[in-house]
């Protein structure tokens, strides 16, 4: 049995377990869930497990691809990504802000939040541009 088939079965099982916990949450009603958290814990544990599984496979197959492929191109892409994060950090505003809970977000924390947003915007712009460019090349 191939790895793809095993991952497909595991994915289906996790989907069913998640759907069961979601159904439990929905059938209990808002007030019971707010008061007791019924079903939410299981739902969160399934999400944590899926996140850990995905993270594990991304790291394993990323390293496998890194060592079996062209390491020069990989290092160039990592360098470009670090450059984008650095540019985003420089552009970000580091103004301390008051949080909704009453605490304060530090200047450094504010700068990193802004850098994350700028990084997302730049990468989204690049991805959309790449999709548009790819669409134009397919038309020719």
Quick one: pLDDT at residue 66?
76
Same domain, 7 and 25: yes
Same domain, 31 and 83: no
The two tokens of residue 24 are: 């439990």
Same domain, 60 and 28: yes
Same domain, 74 and 132: yes
Q: Over 70: is that where the pLDDT of 111 sits?
A: yes
Same domain, 96 and 39: no
Same domain, 11 and 54: yes
Structure-token match 């069913």, residue found: 16
Non-local CB neighbours of 8 within 8 Å, separated by 6+ positions: none
Same domain, 29 and 51: yes
Shortest CA distance to 17 belongs to which of 45, 37, 38? Answer: 45
Q: Over 90: is that where the pLDDT of 123 sits?
A: yes
- Say what percent of the chain tops pLDDT 90: 27
How many Å apart are CA 82 and CA 86, to the nearest integer?
A: 6
Residue bearing the bigger pLDDT, 14 or 41:
14
Domain boundary among 69, 101, 126: 69
Quick one: pLDDT at residue 39?
65
Same domain, 82 and 22: no
Domain boundary among 44, 69, 94: 69
Same domain, 78 and 65: no
Q: What is the pLDDT of residues 28-72, one digit of tens each?
A: 777 776 777 666 777 788 788 888 988 898 888 878 877 777 788
pTM of the model: 0.59
**Domain limits for position 134:** 70-140
Same domain, 114 and 60: no
CA dihedral for 125, 127, 131, 133, sign (positive or negative): positive
- What's the gap between Cα 54 and its chain centre? 10
Query: Coil, helix or strand for 105?
Result: strand
Non-local CB neighbours of 88 within 8 Å, separated by 6+ positions: 114, 115, 116, 117, 118, 119, 122
Residue bearing the bigger pLDDT, 111 or 102:
111
pLDDT band at 1 (very low <50, low <70, confident <90, very high): low
Q: Over 80: is that where the pLDDT of 17 sits?
A: yes
């Amino acid at each position: 049995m191939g790895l793809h088939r095993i991952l497909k079965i595991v994915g289906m099982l996790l989907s069913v377990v998640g759907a069961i916990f979601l159904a439990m949450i929905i059938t209990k009603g808002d007030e019971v869930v707010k008061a007791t958290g019924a079903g939410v814990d299981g739902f969160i544990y399934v999400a944590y497990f899926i996140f850990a599984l995905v993270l594990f496979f991304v790291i394993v197959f990323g390293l496998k691809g890194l060592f079996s492929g062209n390491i020069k191109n990989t290092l160039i892409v990592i360098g470009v990504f670090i450059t984008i994060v650095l540019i985003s950090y420089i552009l970000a505003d580091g103004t301390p802000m008051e949080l909704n809970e009453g605490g304060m977000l530090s200047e450094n924390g504010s700068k990193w939040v802004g850098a994350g947003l700028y990084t997302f915007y730049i990468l989204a712009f690049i991805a959309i541009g790449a999709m548009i460019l790819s669409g134009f090349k397919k038309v020719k």
